[in-house]
Amino acid sequence: MNTSNSHIKVEKKDRTGIIILNRPEVMNALNTPMLRDLRDSLEELEKDSNITAIIIRGGKDFCAGADIGEMNDKGMEEAKAFSQLGHSICNRIGKLGKPVIAAVNGYALGGGCEISLACDIRIAGRNARFGQTEINIGIIPGWGATQRLPAIIGMGKAKEMIMTGKIITAQEALSIGLVNIITDDQGLIGKAEEMASILSGKSLSAIAKVKRLTDIGSGIEKGLELEIDLFSECFGTDDYRDGMKAFFAKRKP
């Protein structure tokens, strides 16, 4: 089965639901309509009792993050609503009672990296690149990276990634625990489907309980709420305004 919903495609293969980010002209950058379609696709697969595992993937690139063109027009209140929408999707992935696998090709930056962080397992092609690059335009991550990234790779490395905005290779991501497996790019989807098949053979009830317990154990819920507030505050700063001008002018802020 293959359904299309704007820039999100959904395939169903055996017991696996596959969500494909499909806006290649902008490296799958996520705008509000695309985020809403992603939310709806997750809800559809969550309700489908025949689906026991979910894969999220892109094409040439996984996702370059939030749509900068849309963000450029936002004030603090609009930025807060945008952050809340992104958080609602990442939180749904985290709380969904089915395992979710991120299959990452090419770039997973900013919000794209955050979508992958919300997934239970990350599998990367050898040419995948990860980064929380928001600081380069004078803002902070807005969809959960300040909380999920330290929980996954440790506080020191997380601060380094977020504060420098550097982009790391798949091999480095594997070495710090950001990804579980790396594979040849052409074998990425097959490896993700293999993992989905393994997880589909386990108790879905037990997996749901594991997800719930590990989420509680990380204690990130208050931090996620604070991140929304501080993310929106960035949109009232001179650093943000200069960062956006620099981005579109292709100069250093």
Enumerate residues 6+ apart whose C-beta is below 8 A from 3: 9, 10, 11
Residue 5 in this model has a pLDDT that exceeds 70:
no
- Strands of the chain (E only): list them: 2-5, 8-13, 16-21, 53-57, 100-104, 107-109, 121-125, 129-131, 167-169, 181-183
- In tens, the pLDDT along 29-57 reads 999 999 999 999 999 999 999 999 999 99
Half-sphere exposure of residue 187, counting CA atoms within 13 Å on the CB side? 8
Residue 205 in this model has a pLDDT that exceeds 70:
yes
Least confident of 72-81, 82-91, 131-140: 72-81
- Under 8 Å between Cβ of 125 and 184: yes
- In tens, the pLDDT along 80-114 reads 999 999 999 999 999 999 999 999 999 999 999 99
- In tens, the pLDDT along 166-180 reads 999 999 999 999 999
3-state secondary structure of 18: strand
- In tens, the pLDDT along 149-158 reads 999 999 999 9
Higher pLDDT, 186 or 242: 186
Distance, in Å, from the CA atom of 85 to the CA atom of 184, rounded to the nearest integer, reads: 33
Pairing of strands 16-21, 53-57: parallel
Please pick, among 43, 44, 46, 134, the residue that the annotation labels catalytic.
134
Whether 25 sits among the annotated catalytic residues: the reply is no
The mean predicted confidence, pLDDT, of the chain is 93
Residue 217 in this model has a pLDDT that exceeds 70:
no
Whether 114 sits among the annotated catalytic residues: the reply is yes
Tokens of 150: 């330290």
What's the pLDDT at 247?
Answer: 84
Please pick, among 25, 44, 114, 194, the residue that the annotation labels catalytic.
114
Determine the CATH number of domain 2-200.
3.90.226.10
pTM of this structure: 0.93
